[in-house]
Amino acid sequence: MTDVTNSSAADLSTALQAGELSSVEVTRAYLDRIAADDDTIGAYLHVDADAALKAAEDIDAARAKGAELGPLAGVPLALKDVVVTEGVPTTSGSKILEGWRPPYDATLAARLKAAGTVLLGKTNMDEFAMGSSTENSAYKVTRNPWDTDRIPGGSSGGSSAAVAAGLAPWAIGTDTGGSIRQPAAVTGLVGHKPTYGSVSRYGLIAFSSSLDQAGPMTRTVLDAALLHEAIAGHDPLDSTSIDSPVPVLAECARRGAEGDLSGLKVGVVTELGGDGHSEGYDPGVLARVAEAVALLESMGAEVRQVSCPAFDLALPAYYLIAPSEASSNLARFDGVRFGLRVGEDGSRDLDEVMALTREQGFGPEVKRRIILGTYALSSGYYEAYYGQAQKVRTLITRDFTTAWDEVDVLVSPTSPTVAWNIGDRVDDPVAMYAADLCTLPASLAGVPAISVPCGLSDGLPVGFQIMAPALADDRCYRVAAALEAAQDAARGHVLLAGIAPKENSPS
Ligand code: GLN
């Protein structure tokens, strides 16, 4: 193993366990890359090199003493800044939380710490996870390593850019309407949104509580499965946590990579880029997705078209439900308990301080959503907007249930287009929202969905989405691993975008 920052996390784990590399060596390699390249990429909001090296030293010392360590021990990682971390600045991309150092760890952060992973830093994101380009961050621009004039997707764009640029081996993102899958798609990564309720939300700064899920963003399907297993499982601190065993995913990814899909029934969703529904989709995206479907078929899968008519209504339903829940969740940012407080000079009462803090602390997209959500929930309009949207949500869930009678997984593009130029959609919220067309149905129904790279269009990555029934996340991994292996066999695995494209060398 020579090129640490061009390795998969699974390969790093193997080398660490075999004593071929120390955690300090691996961590230092990533910190060096961050120091060299993050001024250009802008993936991180916070990096504490000393703390990372200290954690790595502790793991190396424990290993030297013969301590029983798990497979992830000593592997570094990055966390989206929406994940609360004890003593480590956490802003959710917002000025209103500037300077806040949380007094506790999110459950997933605590689990990753207990597994011995080394925190490299916290990654940039759209403010409160509202956006598809990371341009709504209150702090900085994040660039796509494949073309630094382009967006890295969002809202987990700091995580996608960090992993794609080799500034972290893998990262955690969160997905409310597509924020793991879409940034993974446009930066050539694997990103999985777990079944709603299967990964703890305790300590994720809430955006839309009935939709938010955390999950892995990685270079390979196996890495995603390993990271997912480490954060999954019941948590009594999250009231919507499902009480079921930690899913077996890495094993499914390994078996999937053998490439036998015989007996698997695959449904291609007509409404997501199919006949009569291709407006707004890049032809190059549709071509790569069709090739991926053909590859699944060549491995024995049985493919058919499946119509899910209510999916056409996912976008308006989501953009009522998510802002409604956000307007309630964001009421806690009042300038009293966390972060920013503006205008407290003795001349103003509490209401004025609160109003000034919110005026200066929230950015324009967050204000737009709070206003929209408050309106949609107001008495007299509640049934017409929020109530209707919830009914649409039920119809979408029913479309999935009907589909599962016929097929094992549903597939589609992850995003209608490749990464666009920075600035192109900032003045057009509806164009920005359109990036979520394909990811929203799985979010609204709470079912798992993975995005796996399926080639390039105009030199930019395209993502293939695989959706499965609730708690059948393993199916997403099996099919994604088969596709990944078949593509690797066809053209060799490109692990990294790199700032300057790099040669292929997974190990
Ligand atoms: N782009 C969507 C939005 O702006 C989804 C964001 C997310 O998944 N956090 O709401």
For position 499, what pLDDT does the model report?
Answer: 47
pLDDT at 461 over 70: yes
d(CA 218, CA 336): 38
* Tokens representing residue 6 in the block: 């061009």
For position 496, what pLDDT does the model report?
Answer: 57
**By percentage, how much of the chain surpasses pLDDT 90?**
93
Which homologous superfamily does the CATH classification assign to the domain defined by 4-313+394-504? Amidase signature (AS) domain (3.90.1300.10)
Q: How far is CA 427 from CA 135, 150, 333, 364, 424, in A?
A: 11, 16, 26, 11, 8
pLDDT at 221 over 80: yes
Position 321, amino acid: I
- Region of poorest pLDDT, from 17-26, 67-76, 343-352, 437-446: 343-352
- Ligand 1 center to residue 372 CA distance, Å? 15
For position 2, what pLDDT does the model report?
Answer: 60
pLDDT at 219 over 90: yes
The number of the ligand 1 atom at minimal distance from the alpha carbon of 154 is: 1
- 341 sits in the region (left: phi over 0; alpha: psi -120 to 50; else beta) called beta
What digits encode the pLDDT tens for the residues 175-191?
999 999 999 999 999 99
Q: Are the C-beta atoms of residues 121 and 78 closer than 8 Å to each other? A: yes
The residue whose CA is least distant from atom 4 of ligand 1 is 131
pLDDT at 490 over 90: no
CB-based contacts of 304, cutoff 8 Å, min separation 6: 265, 266, 267, 268, 406, 407
The number of the ligand 1 atom at minimal distance from the alpha carbon of 156 is: 9
For position 505, what pLDDT does the model report?
Answer: 35
The number of the ligand 1 atom at minimal distance from the alpha carbon of 435 is: 1
pLDDT at 503 over 80: no
For position 305, what pLDDT does the model report?
Answer: 98
- Region of poorest pLDDT, from 210-214, 232-236, 472-476, 484-488: 484-488
DSSP state of 383: I
Mean pLDDT of 135-157: 98
Mean pLDDT of 419-430: 96
Distance separating the N- and C-terminal Cα atoms of the chain: 5
The residue whose CA is least distant from atom 5 of ligand 1 is 177
Q: How far is CA 75 from CA 5, 49, 321, in A?
A: 11, 15, 38
For position 495, what pLDDT does the model report?
Answer: 55
d(CA 79, CA 205): 13
For position 500, what pLDDT does the model report?
Answer: 42
**By percentage, how much of the chain surpasses pLDDT 70?**
96
Domain boundaries, the chain: 4-313+394-504, 314-388
- Ligand 1 center to residue 176 CA distance, Å? 6
For position 315, what pLDDT does the model report?
Answer: 98
For position 339, what pLDDT does the model report?
Answer: 86
Q: How confident is the model at residue 479 (pLDDT cuts 50, 70, 90)?
A: very high
Q: How confident is the model at residue 502 (pLDDT cuts 50, 70, 90)?
A: very low
For position 194, what pLDDT does the model report?
Answer: 98
For position 394, what pLDDT does the model report?
Answer: 98
pTM attached to this predicted model: 0.96
Q: Catalytic site residues?
A: 80, 155, 179
What digits encode the pLDDT tens for the residues 305-325?
999 999 999 999 999 999 999
For position 507, what pLDDT does the model report?
Answer: 32
371-378 CB contacts, 8 Å cutoff, 24+ apart: 371/327, 372/319, 372/320, 372/323, 372/327, 373/320, 373/322, 373/323, 373/324, 373/325, 373/326, 373/327, 373/328, 374/327, 376/320, 376/323, 376/324, 377/324, 377/327, 377/328
Mean pLDDT of 434-453: 98
The H or E element containing residue 367 is helix 364-377
Sheet of 409-413, strands arranged across: 44-47, 118-123, 76-80, 171-175, 213-218, 190-193, 449-457, 460-467, 409-413, 265-269, 302-306
Task: Compute the chain's Rg from CA coordinates.
Answer: 22
For position 497, what pLDDT does the model report?
Answer: 57
The number of the ligand 1 atom at minimal distance from the alpha carbon of 208 is: 9
- Ligand 1 center to residue 17 CA distance, Å? 38
What digits encode the pLDDT tens for the residues 166-177?
999 999 999 999
- Ligand 1 center to residue 436 CA distance, Å? 7
- Ligand 1 center to residue 344 CA distance, Å? 33
DSSP state of 384: I
For position 501, what pLDDT does the model report?
Answer: 39
Mean pLDDT of 353-369: 96
Q: Which residues line ligand 1 (CB under 6 A)?
A: 129-132, 155, 175-179, 207, 322, 436
What is the rounded average pLDDT for all residues in the chain? 95
- Ligand 1 center to residue 443 CA distance, Å? 10
Q: Mutation test of ligand 1: which of 179, 213, 414 has the most ligand atoms closer than 8 Å to its C-beta?
A: 179
